[in-house]
Structure 1
């Protein structure tokens, strides 16, 4: 089936684009409206939207429309990377940005939330929205609020107002904020109705962050710290280690149910980024990642920078298996405790951060979410329905139904049963525009050629 699909989609790509309505027949649909698989369906697409979905067993007449035989492929709404660091355009050079957009599309990642903002991200989003550049849906946070960028509550308030006026979709908070600065950010952001979230500053804490209106807790930050009885040990980085890794065995789990209840009460979301911790703070040596397959899409300099970022922790003896394993296991347990209680999860991998290549890293994240115990359906939901709900656009995208944006991916097997199939999309459709596997491969080959070792 794969060869037939590839040949067919190559022909389609050359002939369709956005030029006309088209019908995709003989497909099985994972709509994400529920866990039911819709078998033997046809999808009518026009003007960038899904116009209709019908069973192949029902009579229909689409005379004059381009018909694409899906050959039994499975269709789902694509994936999300909801904690990314979109590259910055240096002196007007947008190469890295454009490469990242193709890396996402080639992996079926159709929606991206940028979590460290820069002025060059706004024209990037505008070009994609206008159809001038190929890429996923972008949701942009502004420049981050941190101990380094915030100097007073008054300045923090003005920074919120400036980012809202500039057109950013979200605010990102980093560590180092004082309580009065955080409260100024919180009050102003809620007044202006712009969502915010991020890391939990040690002088603010998880409880105040949740009560103050955090919409997303990035990296599940703050939970471990809130469970440690002697908070003075958390404040000492030499004792606590990165992300309080070294104090996991001191957590008081009797405090966790109250934190879960507070998370639910305040309607906060979690962004786990499991693969960041597995690769950056895991016990696998940094050098082992130098030649993993997807590193060929990054410059040698970038890969070396990632190695340099991890190596000091290795030399300091922090990343031994004895330290790392209990920490990663605790994070998995924390994820499942929050998830099973009903806290919504966002699919994210913090790309391109240490050894997490855009697009490819989402598949590592998916494998780790599965290993932690999430079902295939819930994993897919974290990358489709949930991101749309997060930005109050539920039903507009992230689902396959009439009236929704035509954003979806075709794969060989049923992703409700086989998550590995997500790694090899036959076809990606973004706002109705078709990208076949040949085109996606051409783009990957082009990026690889830019970084020949």
Structure 2
């Protein structure tokens, strides 16, 4: 059968052993992401976790010492990203949820993750993944967030930056509620220590100061609608503005948008749109309708109930009506495409695990929404491969299928440049030179489902 595509013809090594095997993957077509073309009928040689060589199928390759995988016409691409993740916290040393989350990402072809709410337990998780002790995607970690509740002064904010840099975090996450002096202290200290930062835009700071102050990424496209509202006093009143200024979107002055987009380009900021978060959390589909959708079986009943509880108050308050929500989501799609078409770089993000966004699975919802908004398949794939590597100044090291790059890639049945649905069903995943076939991925998903049996 086509779905059991990958037949290991030599299997004399343990299935999971860090970088111990060398692979010859034959009869595959490559979506390299160096351009939007497909390299047909190729062979990939993998050694020591790297792509050693890419050869045409006609090339003779020695068989000795290689584990052979016959792709039977599969397409290989560099995999996806979740660059706005809330990695679970290890409670009292219990890492079950963390390890499950790593598998949920891998089983959906998500090979790189940027954690955006940090915790000390994330650092040993990253170490274990990098050491090959547990399977998982490539992790980039933000520390505990900077917000109105965690920051008490400019001096304390600056020290918090130093502490997170010293602890080994890769990034800083800013939440709402920061005062201008606190933000400026974070910004100047982060620049001094060369650690990137981004997040929400605090109302007391605003989009312009955030961009000019050095935000590397604007999460959720936050701050743009607020910057377009002529009467900013309305933005400051949550009863008038609604969640994420939803209720004021019709008052946005679009004549100001080109200036904001140019400012985004000039400051070299990135956009993390998280379209699916707003479609699900702040959409008009009732919360209860998400309780039994297929991927919820990989979450605990308590987690799903907590998500329902988070959305229900907005429903009961009459905020999430179709009349309110539809123009808001349409505006966000327009804003997303205007930023993208102007050349602002986009990161693939879905904000998982967050309200009704199950790790891994939510990225496919994000992809569908990016496509519906008007983004091409190639640019969507780029947002999850080439762009994340560039974000952390590691372009060429991963996120591409080329000689010398890390052996991080996914095999699917069809050409994803033509069919995005094929991304939902990985036939095999190679992560830093470790191979997981479809049977193994499904086995791990079945274990997670069993752990959360209703």
Q: Same fold (TM over 0.5)?
A: yes
Shorter-chain TM-score: which interval?
A: over 0.9
Report SS of the residue matched to 1:2.
coil
Q: What does residue 80 of structure 2 align with?
A: 79
* Residue 307, structure 1, aligned to residue 277, structure 2: no
Q: What does residue 97 of structure 2 align with?
A: 96
Q: What does residue 377 of structure 1 align with?
A: 378
State the superposition RMSD in angstroms: 1.4
Q: What does residue 173 of structure 1 align with?
A: 174
Separation of aligned partners in 1, 2:426 and 2:4: 14
Separation of aligned partners in 2, 1:60 and 1:306: 53
* Residue 208, structure 1, aligned to residue 217, structure 2: no
Report SS of the residue matched to 2:72.
coil
Separation of aligned partners in 1, 2:245 and 2:129: 39
Separation of aligned partners in 1, 2:85 and 2:424: 19
Separation of aligned partners in 1, 2:68 and 2:107: 23
Report SS of the residue matched to 2:404.
coil
Q: What does residue 246 of structure 1 align with?
A: 247
Decide whether the 8 Å contact of 2:408 with 2:433 is kept in 1.
Answer: yes
TM-aligned CA deviation for residue 244 of structure 1: 0.1
Once the two structures are superposed, residues 317-365 of structure 1 have per-residue CA deviations (whole angstroms, 9 ceiling, x without a partner) of: 0000000000000000000000000000000100000000000000000
- The structure-2 alpha-carbon separation of the partners of 1:9 and 1:169, relative to structure 1 and needing over 3 Å to count, comes to farther
Q: What does residue 126 of structure 2 align with?
A: 125
- The structure-2 alpha-carbon separation of the partners of 1:409 and 1:311, relative to structure 1 and needing over 3 Å to count, comes to same
After superposing on structure 2, the runs of 4+ consecutive aligned residues of structure 1 that deviate more than 3 Å are 6-18, 58-64
Decide whether the 8 Å contact of 1:385 with 1:394 is kept in 2.
Answer: yes
Q: What does residue 109 of structure 1 align with?
A: 110
- The structure-2 alpha-carbon separation of the partners of 1:428 and 1:266, relative to structure 1 and needing over 3 Å to count, comes to same
Give runs of aligned pairs for residues 378-417 of structure 1, distance below 5 A: 378-417=379-418
Separation of aligned partners in 1, 2:15 and 2:104: 24
Q: What does residue 27 of structure 1 align with?
A: 28
Once the two structures are superposed, residues 69-90 of structure 1 have per-residue CA deviations (whole angstroms, 9 ceiling, x without a partner) of: 1100000000000000000001
TM score, norm. by length of structure 1? 0.98
Separation of aligned partners in 2, 1:76 and 1:266: 31
Decide whether the 8 Å contact of 1:107 with 1:360 is kept in 2.
Answer: yes
TM score, norm. by length of structure 2? 0.98
Separation of aligned partners in 2, 1:330 and 1:142: 31
Decide whether the 8 Å contact of 1:80 with 1:383 is kept in 2.
Answer: yes
Once the two structures are superposed, residues 202-221 of structure 1 have per-residue CA deviations (whole angstroms, 9 ceiling, x without a partner) of: 00000000000000000000
TM-aligned CA deviation for residue 138 of structure 1: 0.5
Separation of aligned partners in 1, 2:200 and 2:65: 54
Q: What does residue 5 of structure 2 align with?
A: 5
Decide whether the 8 Å contact of 1:28 with 1:73 is kept in 2.
Answer: yes
Give runs of aligned pairs for residues 31-70 of structure 1, distance below 5 A: 31-70=32-71
Q: What does residue 188 of structure 1 align with?
A: 189
Decide whether the 8 Å contact of 1:10 with 1:439 is kept in 2.
Answer: no
Report SS of the residue matched to 2:442.
helix
Contiguous gaps of at least 5 residues in structure 1 = none
Separation of aligned partners in 2, 1:4 and 1:442: 14
What is the aligned length? 453
Report SS of the residue matched to 2:448.
helix
TM-aligned CA deviation for residue 16 of structure 1: 7.8
Separation of aligned partners in 2, 1:96 and 1:65: 35
Separation of aligned partners in 2, 1:187 and 1:29: 43
Q: What does residue 138 of structure 1 align with?
A: 139
Separation of aligned partners in 1, 2:203 and 2:290: 32
Once the two structures are superposed, residues 131-187 of structure 1 have per-residue CA deviations (whole angstroms, 9 ceiling, x without a partner) of: 111100110000000000111110010000110011000000000000000000000
- The structure-2 alpha-carbon separation of the partners of 1:43 and 1:211, relative to structure 1 and needing over 3 Å to count, comes to same
Separation of aligned partners in 2, 1:426 and 1:242: 40
Separation of aligned partners in 2, 1:416 and 1:10: 31
Contiguous gaps of at least 5 residues in structure 2 = none
Q: What does residue 282 of structure 2 align with?
A: 281
TM-aligned CA deviation for residue 5 of structure 1: 1.2
Report SS of the residue matched to 1:71.
strand
Q: What does residue 219 of structure 1 align with?
A: 220
Q: What does residue 439 of structure 1 align with?
A: 440
Q: What does residue 430 of structure 1 align with?
A: 431
Decide whether the 8 Å contact of 2:7 with 2:70 is kept in 1.
Answer: no
TM-aligned CA deviation for residue 8 of structure 1: 4.5
TM-aligned CA deviation for residue 7 of structure 1: 5.2
Q: What does residue 318 of structure 2 align with?
A: 317
Q: What does residue 154 of structure 1 align with?
A: 155
Decide whether the 8 Å contact of 1:13 with 1:436 is kept in 2.
Answer: no
Separation of aligned partners in 1, 2:90 and 2:10: 32
Using the TM superposition, name which of 48-57 and 9-18 deviates more.
Answer: 9-18
Q: What does residue 263 of structure 2 align with?
A: 262
Report SS of the residue matched to 2:151.
coil
